[in-house]
Chains A and B, each alone.
Chain A
């Protein structure tokens, strides 16, 4: 043994039988990383929905209730198109033909000849310049002067609903993360107490020889910081592999879970999973330190 090795003996012996704690922490880190990944996916999805819908508006011009009403839908639509063209911030305007409108109702009503007799509204689809602000209320008022039975749909209702759904997923993931953090802290606290109990003679001797509480706490906190970081890194690693596999399946054209948005994380999002071992290591560090200091306060 070299001199360097001889004088660097660890104050605490290597723990035996700590594997169950490592497994618990590894599994919790896996779940935490899944929750974190899910929150990022939900966030990205909500962003996608917002971008997809918030850049457009639809104008509906309804047929008059009374067939005898002396109004011409063609003229009203033309006037509405003129108003839209004059509105700053509108990028493109597309008038949907009767055939397009019939296609929209086809899944519900079929292609029956009767459909042609239905009072289908005229639809105008418009896209808004990115970053431009369009006053929808004012636009609606102006449109109603030329087409009394028209309305503007800026999809706010849908965006709000989808945003609500995404927020629910995100907050649920945060709640899961918080619960896992609490469970990690409890498990490490329990293990530290057990470790203190097992090494009581060493702790008592160091205390007796004049070791400061901080010196003794460091021996424990370092041990739990390293072992928790290692166990969590393995758990988070498995979660990263899970996301990579899900992304790989989609890339290969296999839909991992029907109806759900893509489950693959991009490299930047995967890097965020590194936060799981770092944060759980810190939780272990703080918990171990507080547990040891509390236990030492009980000794004279």
Chain B
């Protein structure tokens, strides 16, 4: 369903950040993406969530070849992808509730349809009493949980997370990983970029490592 073939990426005239990256993500799999800082993890995620076009190579997302697809097809592809950004990217003028509900609003769902789902999810991530709080009044960990709730609320086909447990204590981190696992069991393909070795060891999932812009398969699930 997700295929990268000899993908290379450079920003402007700079050096290649990703080189000859080739891999495939089968539907319903759980994968960790690891590697030192600057190895190109965030760039690889950007290509996956269609934020940038590759400099070369072939990317196929949900069976659609991005090089030949019409741009008008991109919004529908993007809506099937949930992203937890490293810097959260919450809308500071909206409440936690509205931030989480955003993907459902974009999908055209009515508030009366989704209000219950959003509240339930916010309760699950431990923010039941902070629903009306605006992001600037939330702690880093709370913001991260809102960002995760927003990424999973629409039950996306692909979930991408960039260091999703970086700002939370181990107990919450485990709870969040359980949430990702639950989503994965329901059929979502999950790819998590992280440094957290303990998380990777406990989950015992496939691990892909980026070193100097090249992809090394470390462990198959």
Contacts and interface: CB of A to CB of B under 8 A. Distances in A.
Interface of A: 1, 3-4, 6-11, 13-14, 201-202, 205-212, 215, 300
Contact of A205 (B79, B89, B97, B131): B89
Contacts of A13: 92-93
B89 to A, nearest CB: 5
Contact of A7 (B83, B89, B92, B101): B101
Nearest to B114: A7
B53 interface: yes
8 contacts: A7-B111, A201-B89, A202-B91, A207-B78, A208-B78, A210-B76, A215-B106, A300-B50
Nearest to B80: A210
Nearest to B103: A209
Q: Which 10 pairs of residues, A with B, have the shortest CB-CB distance?
A: A210-B79, A210-B78, A7-B111, A9-B98, A13-B93, A9-B94, A210-B75, A211-B106, A212-B75, A205-B89
A206 B107 CA distance: 12
Contacts of A206: 102, 106
Task: Pick the most buried of A6, A11, A14, A202: most chain B CB atoms within 10 A of its CB.
Answer: A6
A209 B115 contact: no
Contact of A300 (B53, B79, B95): B53
B132 interface: yes
B131 A208 contact: no
B115 A208 contact: no
Contacts of A7: 97-98, 101, 111, 114-115
Contact of B78 (A8, A9, A202, A209): A209
A239 B115 CA distance: 47
Interface in B26-78: 49-53, 74-78
A215 B76 CA distance: 13
A156 B92 CA distance: 71
B51 A208 contact: yes
Contacts of B89: 201, 205
Contacts of B74: 210
B195 to A, nearest CB: 24
A17 B45 CA distance: 37
Interface size class of B (residues with CB under 8 A): 20 to 34
Nearest to B50: A300
Interface centre among B75, B78, B95 (most CB of A within 10 A): B75
A252 to B, nearest CB: 53
A11 B93 CA distance: 9
B83 A208 contact: yes
Interface of B: 49-53, 74-81, 83, 89, 91-95, 97-98, 101-103, 106, 111, 114-115, 131-132
Given A208-B49, A209-B106, A211-B106, A6 B131 contact: yes
A76 B52 CA distance: 97
Nearest to A10: B93
A211 B50 CA distance: 13
Contacts of A14: 93
B164 to A, nearest CB: 17
A202 B91 CA distance: 7
A9 B106 contact: no
B79 A6 contact: no
Given A9-B95, A300-B50, A211 B131 contact: no
B95 A8 contact: no
A253 B131 CA distance: 66
A6 B98 contact: yes
B80 to A, nearest CB: 8
A255 B51 CA distance: 68
A18 to B, nearest CB: 15
Contacts of B98: 6-7, 9
A108 to B, nearest CB: 77
B106 A6 contact: no
A296 to B, nearest CB: 10
A14 B93 CA distance: 9
A187 B115 CA distance: 39
B42 to A, nearest CB: 14
Nearest to A214: B75
Contacts of B101: 7
Given A7-B111, A202-B91, A300 B51 contact: yes
Contacts of B93: 9-10, 13-14
B2 to A, nearest CB: 16
Contacts of A6: 95, 97-98, 131-132
A173 B103 CA distance: 50
B11 to A, nearest CB: 13
Contacts of A209: 78-79, 83, 102-103, 106
